[in-house]
Chain A
C-alpha cells in the first residue's frame, strides 16, 4: 500500500486504457477468433450497427458488428440463437469495456459442415470427378428432359413454367425425390438412376434456395458420385446464385438456380424454331420463284429461236420478195410509159413544127386549085380560080394575067 502510494509512475485513465488496448491488439489469437455462444440483448439501433451479448453457462462477451458487416449477414439474428461469431477483441475506451468486434456470424455446426465439405471436395477433386474434360456438352435441342427435384417445392413448378414457355415440344420425365433430410441422398441417387433408364437427353437436378444444411444432400458423396457417373448429361441448379454444392462441380453444367437450369436446357426456344421455319418457308418460295423465272426466260429464248427457224419467216420473206418484185415491175412499167409519153410529146412538138398551120401562122398561105384542090406550088399549076388558105381560114382568088 505504502510503496504504491509513493510510486512515481502516474497513469491517466486514457493512458492506461490505451496501454491495455495495445496489449489486446498485439495478441494474434485475440485478433482472429471464432467464439461460440448464445445471442442475448440483441439490438439494432438506427445507426445500423448491431449490438448483442454472446453468453454461455458461465460467461458473457459484449459484441458489436458494424453496419457494413451486418448488411452481409445471411442469417437473421435472434435472441437465444446459438451461433459462432468471428472477429477481433478490442476496447471501447469511452466505457472501458472490452468487446468483440464481429465481422461474420454463422449457425452452429456450419463450421464443421464446411470442413467436411472441403475434405470431400479435395478428395473427389483428386479423383478427377470435377475435371473439365469429363464435362459433356448439353444437347442444343433436347426432345426429352429429365427432372430430379422435390414433388412439393416451387422449383418444379418454376422449371415447368420456363420449359412450357420456351420449348413446349419437349417431353418431361419427372423423378420426384426428397431434397433434404437423411433420406434425401439415397433417394436422389435412385431418382437419377431411374431417369437415366428413360434415356432423356439431359437431366436437371434442382432444388430451391435454403440454408447450407438444407442444401447438404447435394454435397453427399453418394449423390455427387451418382451425378458424375450419370450416362446422361446433368445440369445442376441448386439453391441461389451464391450457393455452390459438390453436385454443381460434378455436373456437366452448373446453373445458378433451378429456373436457370431449365433455361440452359432449352438453348433453342419455340421462337427460334418459328423463325427457322419462317426462313425455310421463304427460301422454299423464293427458290421456286427463281426456278420459274429461269424456266420462263429459257422458254422465251426457245420461242425466239423457234420463230427464227419457222417456215412462216421464209414465207414472209418470200412474200416480201414478191412485193419487191412487183414494186420494181410497176415502177419500171411506169417509167417506160413515162419515157414513151415524153417521146410522144417530143414527136408531137416536132410534128407541130412541121404542120402547115404553123407556117401559115408565120404569114405563108397555101394556094390550091378550085377545081381539083391540088396545091399550086408553081405558076404553071395556077388555075382561074384558086383557094387561098391562111392561118385562120380561106378565101378565093381569081387569077389575072400580067
Chain B
C-alpha cells in the first residue's frame, strides 16, 4: 500500500514547478521542526525522504533554469529569436 502511493508522489515531484516544490519543501521543514511529527517516526521518515526529493527537484530546476523569452505579436506569443552578440 505505501509503495504505489510513494512512487506516485515521486512522479508528481518530477512534474512540479520550482514554486510548487519549494513551497512543499518549506512546509515539510516546518512540520519536521515542529512537535507534530514527534511521535510518528515512520511518518517523519517519509516526510524527510519527500523533503529530500523536493530539495533535489528544486536544485535541478535552479541549475537547469534558462530564461524563456517570448515576444508578443498581436494577441499571440512567439519565442524571441535573440541576435547573438
A174 with B80: in contact, given A284-B29, A288-B44, A291-B41 (CB under 8 Å)? yes
A166 to B39, CA, bound (A): 42
8 Å CB contact of A168 from B33, B48, B66, B82: B66
Q: Give the contact stretch, choosing among A65-73, A100-108, A273-281.
A: A273-281
Inter-chain contact A194/B72, CB cutoff 8 Å: yes
A176, A273, A284: the one within 8 Å of B48 (CB): A284
B72 CB contacts on chain A under 8 angstroms:
173-176, 191, 194-195, 198
Q: Enumerate B3-51 residues with CB–CB distance to A below 8 Å.
A: 18-19, 22, 25-26, 28-29, 32-33, 37-38, 41, 44-45, 48, 51
Q: A295 touching B71 by the CB < 8 A rule?
A: no
Cβ of A283 under 8 Å from chain B: yes
Partner of B77, one of A173, A274, A277, A287: A173
Most buried by A among B18, B29, B58, B72: B72
Task: Decide: A143 near B37, CB < 8 A? Known: A168-B66, A172-B68, A173-B72.
Answer: no
Which B residues lie within 8 Å of A273 (CB)? 58, 62
Contact among B19, B33, B68 with A287 in the assembled complex (CB-CB below 8 Å): B33
- Give Cα A288–Cα B32 distance, bound, in whole angstroms: 7
Residues of A within 8 A of B32 (CB): 283-284, 287-288, 291
Residues of A contacting B62 with CB < 8 Å? 169, 270, 273-274, 277
Residues in B whose Cβ lies below 8 Å from that of A283: 29, 32-33
Contact A280:B29 (CB < 8 A) given known A173-B77, A270-B62, A274-B62: yes
Which residue from chain B places its CB closest to the CB of A281 in the assembled complex?
B55
Structural contact, A280 and B25, CB atoms closer than 8 A: yes
Residues of B within 8 A of A179 (CB): none
CA distance A163 to B33 in the complex (A): 35
A176 to B28, CA, bound (A): 43
Report the nearest A residue to B70, measured CB to CB.
Answer: A173
Once A287-B32, A288-B44, A288-B48 are accepted as A-B contacts, the answer to whether A172 and B70 lie under 8 Å apart by CB is yes
B55 to A160, Cβ gap below 8 A? no
Determine the chain B residues whose CB is within 8 A of the CB of A171 once the complex forms: 68, 70
User: Is residue B1 contacting chain A, with contact meaning CB distance below 8 A?
Assistant: no
Which residue from chain A places its CB closest to the CB of B58 in the assembled complex? A277
Which residue of the partner chain, among A174, A194, A294, A295, contacts B69 with CB atoms under 8 Å?
A174
- Closest residue of A by beta carbon distance from B34: A287
Using a CB-CB cutoff of 8 Å, which residues 271-320 of chain A contact chain B?
Answer: 273-274, 276-277, 280-281, 283-284, 287-288, 291, 294-295
Contacts of A191 in B (CB 8 A): 72
Complex CA gap A274/B51 in Å reads 16
CA distance A175 to B78 in the complex (A): 11
State whether A277 touches B41 (Cβ < 8 A): no
Asked if A164 is at the interface (CB within 8 A of a chain B CB), the reply is: yes
**Distance to closest chain B CB from A165 (angstroms):** 9
**CB <8 Å contact, A160 and B82:** yes
A339 within 8 A of B: no
In the complex, what's the smallest C-beta–C-beta distance from A230 to chain B, in angstroms? 15
Interface residues in A345-379 by Cβ distance below 8 A to B read none
- Asked if A277 contacts B67 (CB within 8 A), the reply is no
Closest chain B residue to A288, Cβ basis: B48
Question: What 0/1 readout, one digit per residue, does chain A (144-159) give for beta carbons within 8 Å of chain B?
Answer: 0000000000000100
Q: Does A170 contact B (CB under 8 A)?
A: yes
Give me 24 A-to-B residue pairs in the complex whose CB atoms sit less than 8 angstroms apart, sorted by A's number: A157-B85, A168-B67, A169-B61, A170-B67, A172-B69, A174-B69, A174-B80, A176-B71, A176-B72, A191-B72, A194-B72, A194-B74, A270-B62, A274-B59, A277-B55, A280-B25, A284-B32, A284-B48, A287-B32, A288-B45, A291-B38, A291-B41, A291-B44, A294-B38
The 5 closest A-B pairs by CB, nearest first: A287-B32, A168-B65, A172-B69, A164-B67, A175-B72
Apart from A194-B74, A277-B62, 7 more pairs, CB < 8 Å: A160-B67, A160-B82, A273-B62, A277-B25, A280-B26, A280-B51, A287-B32
